[in-house]
Chain A
């Protein structure tokens, strides 16, 4: 039993180490690399992106996303393909950003408010309510 434990720990440790290297994109290997975005906008290195990533990685947030039918991995990859400028804007405007739905839609839905409240209280300090559409057909 004891030797099995030891083996399991070793395998675990090896996997963690290999994952660390495997998942790192080339730029992340060197901290001293200049991203294209920093060239366009060197002052806005403030990372709303990092905050958003940390936010999306949290377990309670992921659970909330899933409750509302959003795949957390999908949420992350959507976030990753936005520029910093857009991330900042998303952070500023999520509460008032409309989701286009159907022309037959009406506004209801307390569930979403929970999600927004989560956003509000937990990370970005939002102050409005998200307009959204739900369907009654």
Chain B
């Protein structure tokens, strides 16, 4: 049933000013993605995203393709599952891409639509779907088609915003996806958003340093790792990357104690820390040899 289970939510809601891209033949994935990307503040069209998400041979778009498509535009792609999450996101004003099976289990007809509202008294769900700008569907029918696709959904947000249903690990993992898509400024914003809610997240602090490092901003990376070691003095990984970033700036002497601390702390990545320490020792030896040769 509709939101009854969550009394804190409004009885009816509908997201206004949502772009509408009438779907071309089996292009529901690009149309849905362009709709939410535009909502998130980008100027996107289905034509612009089609190459990134659409697989011609499948005549459709796979879910991971939609996820990575959103990330390549510097947007957080956060998956949701189940009805409660869907109502919460829509009530928070976040349009949700949903996968429906409009056929039956043994003859599936997969379709992406965007949920833009619901009406609890009327028991309806409002969708942007295919050629229809505003489709009001009975909740019962919608839920049957959605359940056949395991009630999969996804919100696409600017990295400065948290999904209404955000949890720490999956959210940080979604930001890591941005980092992997080489969207480093967006990833840094995403990690900061995570830290505002979960200040103890070591991964988010490390992610900031790693993203700055990938951008080539060594000074900012160093600041991030120094912050990481001060918040997490137990984290060898933070000392390890601090040592590496100091070394990258030609400061092997300063890197040495950080690398030693990482090795002393140990943990599952201890082998990596030992390797860092080894690199630094070698560097110092070469430097010393260079010095003595000069005199």
Interface 9-mer from A1-9, A93-101, A118-126: A93-101
Q: A133 with B173: in contact, given A32-B240, A101-B26 (CB under 8 Å)?
A: no
Give the CA-CA distance A90 to B207 in the complex, in Å. Answer: 24
Report yes or no: A133 in contact with B26, Cβ–Cβ below 8 A.
yes
A to B contact number (C-beta, < 8 Å): 178
Q: A81 with B180: in contact, given A33-B241, A98-B60, A100-B29 (CB under 8 Å)?
A: yes
Report yes or no: B237 in contact with A34, Cβ–Cβ below 8 A.
yes
User: Which residues of B214-242 have CB atoms within 8 Å of chain A's CB atoms?
Assistant: 214, 216, 235, 237, 240-241
Q: List residues of chain A with CB within 8 A of the CB of B51.
A: 71, 74
Q: List residues of chain B with CB within 8 A of the CB of A33.
A: 240-241, 244, 272
Interface 9-mer from A13-21, A55-63, A106-114: A106-114
Q: List residues of chain B with CB within 8 A of the CB of A35.
A: 210
Closest Cβ–Cβ distance, residue A25 to chain B (whole Å):
7
B286 proximal to A (CB < 8 A): no
Select which of A26, A42, A82, A100 is within 8 A of B268 by beta carbon: A42
Report yes or no: B52 in contact with A74, Cβ–Cβ below 8 A.
yes
B107 proximal to A (CB < 8 A): yes
User: Which residues of A71-103 have CB atoms within 8 Å of chain B's CB atoms?
Assistant: 71, 74, 77-83, 85-86, 90, 97-103
Interface 9-mer from B12-20, B82-90, B118-126, B273-281: B273-281
B172 proximal to A (CB < 8 A): yes
Q: List residues of chain A with CB within 8 A of the CB of B112.
A: 100
Give the CA-CA distance A105 to B61 in the complex, in Å. Answer: 13
Interface residues of B, count at CB 8 A: 66
Closest Cβ–Cβ distance, residue A111 to chain B (whole Å):
7
A23 proximal to B (CB < 8 A): no
Q: List residues of chain A with CB within 8 A of the CB of B102.
A: 103
Interface 1/0s, chain A 37-58, versus B by CB < 8 A? 1111011000000000000000
**Residue from B72, B110, B181, B237 whose CB has the most chain A CB atoms within 10 Å:** B110
Q: List residues of chain B with CB within 8 A of the CB of A133.
A: 26, 58-60, 108-110
Report yes or no: A105 in contact with B52, Cβ–Cβ below 8 A.
no
Q: List residues of chain A with CB within 8 A of the CB of B60.
A: 98-101, 105, 132-133
Closest Cβ–Cβ distance, residue B262 to chain A (whole Å):
9
B260 proximal to A (CB < 8 A): no
Report yes or no: B241 in contact with A34, Cβ–Cβ below 8 A.
yes
B130 proximal to A (CB < 8 A): yes
Report yes or no: A102 in contact with B111, Cβ–Cβ below 8 A.
yes
A68 proximal to B (CB < 8 A): yes
Give the CA-CA distance A86 to B60 in the complex, in Å. Answer: 19
Q: A135 with B57: in contact, given A83-B176, A100-B99, A101-B26 (CB under 8 Å)?
A: no
Query: 10 tightest CB-CB pairs across the interface, nearest first?
Result: A99-B60, A69-B56, A68-B57, A81-B181, A101-B60, A102-B26, A99-B58, A101-B26, A32-B275, A81-B68
* Interface set of A (CB-CB < 8 Å, partner B): 25-27, 30-40, 42-43, 68-71, 74, 77-83, 85-86, 90, 97-107, 111-112, 115, 131-135, 137
* Interface set of B (CB-CB < 8 Å, partner A): 23, 25-29, 32, 51-52, 55-65, 67-68, 71-72, 99, 101-102, 107-112, 130, 149, 169, 172-174, 176-177, 179-182, 202-203, 206-207, 210, 213-214, 216, 235, 237, 240-241, 244, 267-269, 272-273, 275-276, 279
